[in-house]
Amino acid sequence: MIDLLRRYPLPVIVLAQLFGTSLWFSINGVWLSLAGELGLTESDLGRLTLAVQAGFIAGTLTIAVTGLADRFGASRIFALSSLLGALVNGGFIFAAGAPPLDFLLRFATGLCLAGIYPLGMKMVIAWTPKYAGAALAWLVGMLTLGTALPHLMRGATLGMPWEWPLMAASCLAVAGGLLVFLLGDGPHLPRSSGRLPLSQGLAALRIPRFRAVAGGYFGHMWELYAFWTLTPLLIGRELQRMGQSDALIPWLSFAVIGIGAAGCVGGGRLSRTRGSEWVARRALMVSGAFCLVYPWLNGLSPALLIVLLIVWGIAVVADSPQFSALASATAPRESVGSSLAVMNAVGFGLTLPAIWLTSGLWGQLNVWVVLLLFPGPVLGLWALSRARPEVQAG
């Protein structure tokens, strides 16, 4: 079986990534039922979503400054993180609506995800270094599907206890960790021997090219997770205007978020001929246009606006794997894992104020809160304009 897994490493890694990252938004998919049963509000949703982001940031910073991602086998860190993440996600069932324990368990989930997402990227590069943009596109596509998966599970289990989708996410995470553990580490990156200095994980930030690519990624991240957090609210607004049941919210939220996987894969294919930087720029332009224009269209047909959200869902994440490919091509080879981790840490740090602002102001601004996402693509495009044009990855 191990030989079979190693014959097809990329499908194994992306499937494990799908399973592991289903923990990320596991409570968002069951939020309507959870809130109705426990009397929670949109502010509580924002608080718990921020807890996961904060945990992820703390975890990736720890990995980056200690060099853990390059001192130990990526597959072992991934597998252990998946197991622990499954346990704390399951523990949330018993702590829901009981602060601060619910917050701490979601924070711990974020810590575990820091051992899944960046390490998954490193494993892709270690197993399939050629056409990194296209390979990473599959990985980020699975992250996107993993983010959308709780909405699908909620739609499929409508009328059943909200605890079931959470337990399903935990079971998937365990399965993903087992797959990666059996696969093992890839052969195409050097393995560090001995203890790395604390500064090793930050070495890439001294490279101007890496800083420019990271700046583009940071702008992208300001928009991405806030948009995903707003998606059920935006969908719910249009369904209410149509007089439709809230039961459609999880299905349509899955469609809007999950379609981003197609954007990632499509962008990955384009990167093989156009280059990763070309794809990243175009995706930022399209998603930035949606940030600016969408609120002004709020009086149009609800069905049309849902279609526009689906198109936006394709563009909003299509650039993510290309930023990772560009960064991995620029970072020192001996600290690729740590370099990607520190870029993730700062990028996810920017999601905190974006999610806090948009979820907190939804009640006052409604659809106009989307305008707060616009500075992200603008920053990303400005940062990419400072990158040297001859640098390409794909």
Predicted local confidence at residue 63, as pLDDT? 78
Average pLDDT estimate for 186-211: 64
User: 182 and 320 in contact (C-beta within 8 Å)?
Assistant: no
Predicted local confidence at residue 131, as pLDDT? 62
Helices (H), the chain: 2-7, 9-21, 31-38, 42-66, 68-71, 74-95, 101-113, 117-127, 132-156, 163-183, 208-242, 249-258, 260-274, 276-293, 302-318, 320-330, 336-365, 375-385
Pick the range with the lowest mean pLDDT from 119-133, 264-278, 352-366, 372-386: 119-133
Structure tokens at 20: 């592991």
Long-range contacts of 90-98 (CB under 8 A, 24+ apart): 90/166, 90/167, 90/170, 92/26, 92/27, 92/166, 93/163, 93/166, 93/167, 96/27, 96/34, 96/38, 97/34, 97/38, 97/39, 97/40
Distance of CA 11 to the CA centre of its chain: 18
Average pLDDT estimate for 268-280: 90
Predicted local confidence at residue 68, as pLDDT? 73
Predicted local confidence at residue 61, as pLDDT? 84
Question: Is the predicted pLDDT of residue 17 greater than 80, yes or no?
Answer: yes
Domains of the chain: 1-185 (1.20.1250.20), 197-387 (1.20.1250.20)
Predicted local confidence at residue 194, as pLDDT? 46
Most confident stretch, 183-187, 308-312, 344-348, 389-393: 308-312
pLDDT bracket for residue 393 (50, 70, 90): very low
Question: Is the predicted pLDDT of residue 59 greater than 60, yes or no?
Answer: yes
